[in-house]
Amino acid sequence: MDGNDPRRSLPAVDRVVASLDGLPHPLLVDCAREAVDAARARVESGHPSPPEAEIVADARDRAGRLRRRLLRPVVNATGVLLHTNLGRSPLSAEARAAVDDVAGRASNLELRMDAGTRGSRHEHAGALLARTCGAEAGLVVNNNAAAVLLALAALARGREVVVSRGELVEIGGGFRIPEVMAESGCRLVEVGTTNRTRRSDYAAALGPETALVLRVHASNYRMVGFVESTPVRELASLGPPVIVDAGSGLLDETTPWLDRRPGWLRDEPGVRQALEDGAALVTFSGDKLLGGPQAGILVGRADLLGRVARHPLARAVRADKMTLAALQSVALAYLDGRAGTLPLWRMATRPTQELRARAEAVADAAGGLKVVDTEAVAGGGSLPGRAIPSVGVALETADAAAATKILRNRDVVARVEGSALVCDLRSVDASDDARLVDALRAVREALPG
């Protein structure tokens, strides 16, 4: 380097850091270093050295972007109620309070307070959830993918599990039934065809090596036309225990916690009914139609769940106390007949007139928007193709991608339909309508016409 080296005029990283704030010091140092490095790279490729203010502004931008990547709440205006990328089911105030109660202090997680002996973390939420659907026992793990893997590993490792070819599905996020089965160490025995599998197909595949029959709820896709599957009741009469991966976790298909059963649920099967029909175990997610925290729930025969709980993998996928506290609160709400007040069921059953009134108010306040009929969906890989009638606001724009970006910068996630930006109000809490208005105003100001 000679004395005229323009790199020498670049500010020191510490000097840039001194102008930044809003993040822990090591992260600000990262941002400052990246900005100075970027400036140096420009100088080295022959550009003049940028003024210090420009480098500081770049570092500030980087710090801003880093801050925005931190986990934080956003407004879900997609109309997808259980949006996996947006955290699926919101938790009720009661469930959050229950988490708060046990999170900051000691709890009786694994201690029986009456006897003073060691207890099990499955005695709380697991047992209550079993009670909600009439099962002998219940167990909670980290998510439903883990529940399926654990059940297969504990009950069928080295043995055969019979599954319909129509149920060898990929649920999303890389959860493919054949791969999960392989990971569990069991042997997959495929029966029937993609569109039709009869009881006799299962019966022909049974043998001394058969450990289980597995039924997988197709969840995120639907077959129509020349299709046939074998009801759980008939599978249960085959002999080996039947495990049902119910996925979405509709506890009872008669939805006794609602005034009436929503039409969009159509023939979604219930956990209680699968058990009544003879399933030995049912697994499902905590954060889909149950309306709770991320969790995998196994309910069914106590002897099988005992084996599942003793498997070494159970320790690896166990649920933590905050999850168990939230789930306990959700289970109590179901047992109390109050599950209709859970945020998920509130969202799902809001009358469209109410949504329309809110949409009109949002459209008025933001200006230049149309109130439109929309179709919300349950999402989270449940109930594909079954729309929930809804209402939203639409903004016609020549650049929908730019419009959604402006919204995202204000923590609002919307969807694009053709040339319109659509905010569906069914997935938005009414208390967020004002934020929605502000964000939509910003889009109109940035993209007039």
Task: Give the footprint of ligand PLP on this chain (CB under 6 A).
Answer: 143-145, 171, 175, 216-217, 219, 245, 247-248, 285, 296, 381
CA-based nearest residue to 147, from 357, 26, 299, 326: 299
- Token pair in block for residue 424: 């569906």
CA-based nearest residue to 271, from 293, 258, 286: 286
Closest contact distance (angstroms) between CB of 217 and ligand PLP is: 4
Q: Is 283 helix (H, G, I), strand (E, B) or coil?
A: strand
Nearer to ligand PLP, 128 or 216 (CB): 216
Closest contact distance (angstroms) between CB of 245 and ligand PLP is: 5
Nearer to ligand PLP, 143 or 397 (CB): 143
Nearer to ligand PLP, 11 or 247 (CB): 247
Phi, psi for residue 393 in degrees, rounded to 5: -115, 145
Nearer to ligand PLP, 145 or 332 (CB): 145
Is 277 in contact with 300 (CB distance < 8 Å)? no
Closest contact distance (angstroms) between CB of 121 and ligand PLP is: 18
- Token pair in block for residue 21: 């704030």
- Token pair in block for residue 421: 């930006």
Element (H, E) at 76: strand 75-76
| Sequence-ordered list of residues with C-beta below 8 angstroms from that of 85, at least 6 positions apart, any chain | none
Closest contact distance (angstroms) between CB of 284 and ligand PLP is: 8
Element (H, E) at 309: helix 302-310
- Token pair in block for residue 124: 């709380």
A 10 A CB-CB count for 225 gives 5
CA 194 to chain centre: 28
Closest contact distance (angstroms) between CB of 154 and ligand PLP is: 17
Angstrom distance (rounded) from CA 190 to CA 203: 12
Closest contact distance (angstroms) between CB of 317 and ligand PLP is: 10
Nearer to ligand PLP, 210 or 248 (CB): 248
Nearer to ligand PLP, 30 or 170 (CB): 170
CA-based nearest residue to 79, from 341, 368, 391: 391
Closest contact distance (angstroms) between CB of 175 and ligand PLP is: 5
Closest contact distance (angstroms) between CB of 76 and ligand PLP is: 17
Measured at CB, which residue is nearest to ligand PLP? 247
Nearer to ligand PLP, 245 or 268 (CB): 245
Nearer to ligand PLP, 210 or 285 (CB): 285
A 10 A CB-CB count for 61 gives 12
- Token pair in block for residue 405: 């970006």
CA 112 to chain centre: 32
Angstrom distance (rounded) from CA 248 to CA 378: 10
Looking up tokens 């026992």 gives 137
Q: Is 408 helix (H, G, I), strand (E, B) or coil?
A: helix
Nearer to ligand PLP, 219 or 230 (CB): 219
Instruction: Give me the count of residues in the chain.
Output: 449
Closest contact distance (angstroms) between CB of 180 and ligand PLP is: 8
